[in-house]
């Protein structure tokens, strides 16, 4: 069997709203680091009732250097953002010895969405939101109540 090299892609695109004001810090060597959390919402129809339900996922985002400084000046609690980045896993041990881990996004680009951009996106699908490809596939298969 031939040894195929599988391309490795680590890229994520997400939109959401900041859950609190971002925190801008500097490393000991002077690099800017911006940290914030976003709430990303997903709407889907309940298989049994047909009613729309909403699921919220909270994600931590980290930006570095110039991007961190620029966004640190612009963003605040409630800001709508579009983030493109890569997934980064981290692990640590709590003071009482418990092991913890998390997967965060390291931002490559961040677009601060204005109110007009958010309203334009919402008005494109009046009434109910347009389903994405995975939501359409889930509905066709009868699995729209699955959380993924």
pLDDT tens digits for range 94-138: 999 999 999 999 999 999 997 766 666 566 544 434 444 444 444
Element (H, E) at 4: none
Closest CA to 81 of 67, 92, 94, 91: 67
DSSP character for 128? S
Residue 50, token pair as written in the block: 């047909």
pTM exceeding the 0.75 threshold for the entire prediction: no
CATH architecture of the region 12-141: Beta Barrel (2.40)
Domain ranges of the chain: 12-141
């Amino acid at each position: 069997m031939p040894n195929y090299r599988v391309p490795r892609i680590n890229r994520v695109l997400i939109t959401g709203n900041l859950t609190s004001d971002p925190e801008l810090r500097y490393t000991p060597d002077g690099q800017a680091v911006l940290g914030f959390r976003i709430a990303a919402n997903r709407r889907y129809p309940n298989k049994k009732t047909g009613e729309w339900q909403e699921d919220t996922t909270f994600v931590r985002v980290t930006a570095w250097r110039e991007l961190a400084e620029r966004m640190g000046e612009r963003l605040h609690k409630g800001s709508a953002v579009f983030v493109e980045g890569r997934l980064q896993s981290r692990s640590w041990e709590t003071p009482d010895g418990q092991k913890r881990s998390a997967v965060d996004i390291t931002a490559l680009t961040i677009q601060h969405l204005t109110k007009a951009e958010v309203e334009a996106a919402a008005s494109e699908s009046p009434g109910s939101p347009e389903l994405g490809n995975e939501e359409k596939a889930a509905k066709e298969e009868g699995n729209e109540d699955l959380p993924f």
